[in-house]
Amino acid sequence: MQVKEIISLKGGILYTTTPQHLLAAAIDTMAELDVGSLVVMEAGKMAGMLTFREVLMALKAHNLCPVGVTVGDVMLKDPVQVTSVTEVNELRQVMIDTRSRYMPVVDDGTLLGVISLHDVAKAVLDEQNFENKMLKNYIKNWPDGKEEA
């Protein structure tokens, strides 16, 4: 399975913000949308990512009071990226190695979406369930060698 299959299953909805956006407003947006990340866009291109990790580190650094702090002050500026043809097993390894729960998918400079660890787990589970169903069906219909008369 490749990343493009997960993107097509989950859809291409992107939740974005800008570097100039206040962190408090971005936190509100994340809470309202029930998402763990926002893509930070500037001049039509991805400038970074804002995830719960950056939010928590910023809150700690500013004594839980992010007044005047912008997304650009705390965002992850160069997030690790994958392409649409990245195999899911490679994606999982990259996510584990980089401790990233959210991975931008970029082909030739075009942002296609963001894959979360939840999206990966769901896709793998769905694929395993489908394979199990197919194997059970195959075994159930296994020829027993007896010819019917």
**What residue ranges do the domains of the chain occupy?**
3-140
Annotation: CATH topology of 3-140:
CBS-domain (3.10.580)
Query: What does the pLDDT read at residue 148?
Result: 55
124: confidence class by pLDDT, cuts 50, 70, 90: confident
Report pLDDT for 113. Answer: 93
For the chain, what is the mean pLDDT?
A: 91
Query: Above pLDDT 90, what percent of the chain?
Result: 71
Does the pTM exceed 0.85?
no
- 147 confidence band (pLDDT: 50, 70, 90): low
What mean pLDDT do residues 21-26 have? 96
Sequence-ordered list of residues with C-beta below 8 angstroms from that of 65, at least 6 positions apart, any chain: none
